[in-house]
Structure 1
Amino acid sequence: MSWPQLRSGVYFILPEGLDQVELVRLTEAALAGGVGMIQYREKDKSTRQMILEVTDLLMLTSPISVPLIVNDRVDVCLAAEADGVHVGQEDMPVQVARRLLGAQAIVGATTPSPQLAQQARADGASYAAIGPVFASPTKPEKPQVGVDAVRQVAAVTSLPVCAIGGIDAQNIAQLPAAGASLYAVVSAISAAQDPAEATAELAHLTQA
């Protein structure tokens, strides 16, 4: 599927280590709540299992034109025909991922500094991610960079800026004014009693 321009909105990163039933449950809930994009992220499952899971999730996301991307694994993205990848600073270089996936794929990049955000754009990234903006339960070892870091990245790039790390209903409303247009969350949706309602609330708070 072609993604010439990303929609702004809530970007749900599925937690690692879930079984297929839970992956489907959370994906369906996020879609019902109006999520803008979903990322599949796994480190320990077999390549075969990842491909099967992504293929199944695409059956939910593709019919309603919500992009599903894969963290790091360009091979899994290609095999499952997912919508793109997200690569970190220690993963496959952006320009290589772009060359392998083609012009229409989403290639997100972790960009810890304004300079790296500029480089990511030159290399063909679709969006620049900065974080953890707030203290993150997913990566507690990483110091938070604060909302100012989002503002600094947004000031130097025309790419959509994705804020990530510790984002929830109490702080997400600070981010649009700082220049973010994608809001990556994990536990704010996955740990919610009603993930669909939590997704909808987060989306509403970014538009208020």
Structure 2
Amino acid sequence: MAWQRGLYAITDAALLPDDRTLLNACDAALRGGLALLQYRDKSSDDARRWRQAAALASLCQAHAVPLIINDDTGLALRLRDAGFAGVGLHLGQSDGELAEARQRLGGEALIGATCHASLELAERARGEGASYVAFGRFFTSRTKPDAPPAPLALLAQAADLGLPRVAIGGIDEHSAASARRAGADLLASVEAVFGGSDVEARVRRLNRQLAALSP
């Protein structure tokens, strides 16, 4: 499944606490225009996580947008084995071995890696088979307030890696332009997408802002 530059929405169990709220909000975001959607739920309720992930995989498949599973190679594999196309994986630095995940998911799977403010971590992720590298936080973030800050210049410095660069941490309608100009290919956010009413309109507004910056 092809993907492109743009908005990378990340779900949040506090903002989207039940199946209906989650699916309605994600459907609205997809209608507004997402490059990627990440399902992130750190709960231990495996039945809920499978139910929600499968519903989102079906939704994303209908919109031809890849679904990225946060920190659960097994769940990503289960979705793929159930016949869902375009299911990928995102791993943090404490979420497991990227090289092992690449081996299990295969060469075509979209696998991203959190690299904080470190080019060294990004270089290692590339060597282990990452499809993209995520840096941040670049701005004040409600969801990751204690994450180490990263300079915007890091995005330009990472260009030589030859991988798409994701900016995360405090991305909103006020900061998105700065991150894009600095070199971000994908702008990842919880709040900018799901932090208010009329999700579709919020996404469309951000996309118009980004389109105005495109060459």
Identity among equivalent positions (%) equals 36
Contact 1:165 1:185 (8 Å CA) reproduced: yes
For 2:152, the equivalent position in structure 1 comes to 147
Of 118, 134, 159, the match for 1:129: 134
Secondary structure (helix, strand or coil) at the match of 2:187 reads strand
Q: Secondary structure in 2 aligned to 1:180?
A: coil
Match of 2:10 among 4, 13, 17: 13
**Deviation readout 1:103-131 (Å, 9 max, x if unpaired):** 11110001131121111111110100001
Residue type at the aligned position of 2:21:
E
Matched, 1:181 2:178: no
Please give the TM-score of this superposition, normalised by the length of structure 2.
Answer: 0.90
Task: Indicate the RMSD between aligned Cα atoms, in angstroms.
Answer: 1.4
Equivalent residue pairs, number: 204
User: What secondary structure, in the 3-state scheme, does the structure 2 residue paired with 1:12 have?
Assistant: strand
Q: Is 2:102 the partner of 1:98?
A: yes
Q: Bigger CA drift: 56-65 or 162-171?
A: 56-65
Query: Separation in 2 of the partners of 1:146 and 1:54?
Result: 33
CA drift of 1:151 comes to: 2.4
Residue 88 of structure 2 contacts residue 110 of structure 2 at CA under 8 Å; is this kept in 1? yes
Gap regions ≥5 residues in structure 1 = none
- In the other structure, the counterpart of 1:25 is 24
Tell me the TM-score normalized by structure 1.
0.93
Aligned partners of 1:19, 1:80: CA distance in 2, in Å?
A: 20
AA partner of residue 184 (structure 2): A
- Alignment map for 1:79-98 (pairs within 5 Å): 79-81=78-80, 83-98=87-102
The one-letter amino acid of 1:91's match is: D
Contact 2:180 2:187 in 1 (8 A): no
Look up the SS of the partner of 1:69 in the other structure. Answer: strand
Aligned to 2:167: 163
Letter in 2 for 1:11: Y
Structure 1: which 4+ aligned runs deviate by more than 4 Å? none
- The structure 2 residue matched to 1:120, chosen from 116, 125, 128, is 125
2:115 corresponds to which of 92, 106, 111: 111
* AA at the equivalent of 2:131: S
For 2:20 and 2:50, locate their aligned partners in 1 and report how far apart those are by CA, in whole Å: 15
TM-aligned CA deviation for residue 142 of structure 1: 2.1
1:13 touches 1:39 (CA, 8 Å); kept in 2? yes
Q: For residue 121 of structure 1, what is the amino acid of its counterpart?
A: R
